[in-house]
Amino acid sequence: MLSLDPLGLDSAMLAEVRAYVRVDAGVDDNMIAACAVAAIEHAEQFTRQILIRRGANDIVTTGSGWQILQAMPVQSVVSVTGIPAEGARFAMAASAWETKISSRGEAYFRVLQPGIAGRAEVSLIAGLSANWASLPESLRLGLLRLASYFYNNRDAGDDAGPPAAALALLLPFRRMQLA
């Protein structure tokens, strides 16, 4: 069986997707799981948000002042590792960096004392909801429709892309980024 852990998914989502595509338990479980994972990944790319809370990493330069981290919405910063041009990586003390997290989950980060690090890897926890069951209902329905689409059209040669209705359900959760 495909592991759903990297996306923070659980058996509840698999059961709900299986019911939505009308497939009995134990039948095509690997394909249904793969389609569920593809739906989450597609939705995260579209919305520019991590949907189900899990760990993530972001690499930033150390001399650029305040920078916004790419992962959103950030719940907390766990640790920071310095990355020198040469030599081994090292853990940076909490006093060597600073972070601010907005009410929308945007994390602003800067390095105060880089030492020999030219870049830093920021380990964080991010995600819109703690688990599948706590996702907003319209978002869950959009994910179910996407997973169903991926499952039912996996061999279609004339595939026109995900249904507009599924993307419309994801649209209110989309974050725009200015260049």
Domain ranges of the chain: 5-50+129-173, 54-126
Comparing C-alpha atoms, which of 145, 155, 151, 140 is closest to residue 27? 151
Query: Which band of pLDDT confidence, cut at 50, 70 and 90, is reported for residue 158?
Result: confident
For residue 80, name the pLDDT band (cuts at 50, 70, 90): very high
Q: Right CATH number for 5-50+129-173 from 1.10.3230, 1.10.1760, 1.10.12, 1.10.10?
A: 1.10.3230
3-class DSSP state of 130: coil
pLDDT tens profile 161-175: 888 999 999 999 998
Place 119 in a pLDDT band, splitting at 50, 70 and 90.
very high
Return the C-alpha torsion angle 177, 44, 146, 142, nearest 10.
-70
27-53 pLDDT tens trace: 888 899 999 999 999 999 999 999 999
Distance in angstroms (rounded) separating the CA atoms of residues 7 and 67: 25
Report DSSP state, residue 74. E
Three-state secondary structure call for residue 140: helix
The chain-wide mean pLDDT, for the chain, equals 90
DSSP structural state of residue 46: H
CA distance 60 to 48: 18
